[in-house]
Amino acid sequence: MELRPIGFVKSSVLEPVDEEWGKVVSDICLEPEYAGGLLGLEAFSHIQVIFFMHQATWNPATDLVRRPRGRSDMPLVGIFAQRARHRPNPIGITTVSLIGVRDNIITVRGLDAIDGTPVLDIKPYNPGFDAREVFKVPDWVSKLMAGYF
């Protein structure tokens, strides 16, 4: 398997944080050879950004089963039941608001990726694929996400 970044995140956030990402405006600076692939993207209100969490670590002894964000008020759950950055393959995916597209730069709001994060792919948000009318999440998820976005 071989993956190459198509671009990198430019953000004022230099270190990982666990809240207030909804206020963060970032640029995704694509490599110039991919600029043509942005044609028509500006017609969407949201996009999904797939990225490599390059500063994340993985230690199965502490990360395979853990309390989300290390909070004592959270249940003990496996890594695949949460969206923590410390994963076997540190791949992130976030749906963000699209602010604008200019040349090879995409400006977004709400991307929870720090400055310099390699971007692997961009996809338009499409409710036909991405939204579900009926879903279920545990009660602790709402408590955990308070203030995140």
Whole-structure pTM value: 0.92
pLDDT, tens digit, for every residue of 62-72? 999 999 999 99
Annotated domain spans of the chain:
7-145
Q: What integer is the mean pLDDT of 96-113?
A: 97
Arithmetic mean of pLDDT, 8-14: 94
Classify domain 7-145 at the CATH topology level: Elongation Factor Tu (Ef-tu); domain 3 (2.40.30)
Tell me the torsion sign for CA atoms 75, 76, 79, 81. negative
15-60 pLDDT, tens digit each: 887 777 888 999 999 999 999 999 999 999 999 999 999 999 999 9
Round to whole Å and give the CA distance between 53 and 107: 19
Note whether 99 and 28 are within 8 A (CB). no
